[in-house]
Amino acid sequence: MATSNNYGPKRLVVGAHYGTIDFLAQRITAVILAVYTLVLIIGALAMPSFTFENWKALFTFHVFALPVGQILASLAFFALAWHAWIGVRDIWMDYVQPVGVRLLMQVLTLLWLIGSVVYFAQVIWRI
């Protein structure tokens, strides 16, 4: 009977580094969301009065005819959706054991996130 050496330099590594990109994406999207949150808080505190027009101006300001407010809001929302996808997908993978149920939950989560991004884009770019 031959023994297999599944350790050391001759081991077969399958699935290595699959989580590295997700780990980095979680951290990068978290930084984007933290910075955007600080920008919104500073913008809200700097408002002369808390009116709809001033709140709308946080999301629609332009720099050299470039809609910077809408671009930053879109970047933050896409970061939020990606961050949520990675986190919720990992929860489904860790805690839902039946493969069919897990796949259904992942598909429903993905559809919900895509729908949220489409709805957000319609709202923010119509302003």
For the four alpha carbons of 40, 42, 45 and 46, in that order, the dihedral sign comes to negative
* 83 is known to lie in a ligand binding site: yes
- The answer to whether the CB of 73 falls within 8 A of the CB of 59 is yes
* 62 is known to lie in a ligand binding site: no
3-state secondary structure of 46: helix
3-state secondary structure of 63: strand
Helices marked H in 47-98: 52-60, 68-95
Going by the annotation, the residues of the binding site are 83, 95
Going by the annotation, the residues of the binding site for heme are 83
Going by the annotation, the residues of the binding site for a ubiquinone are 95
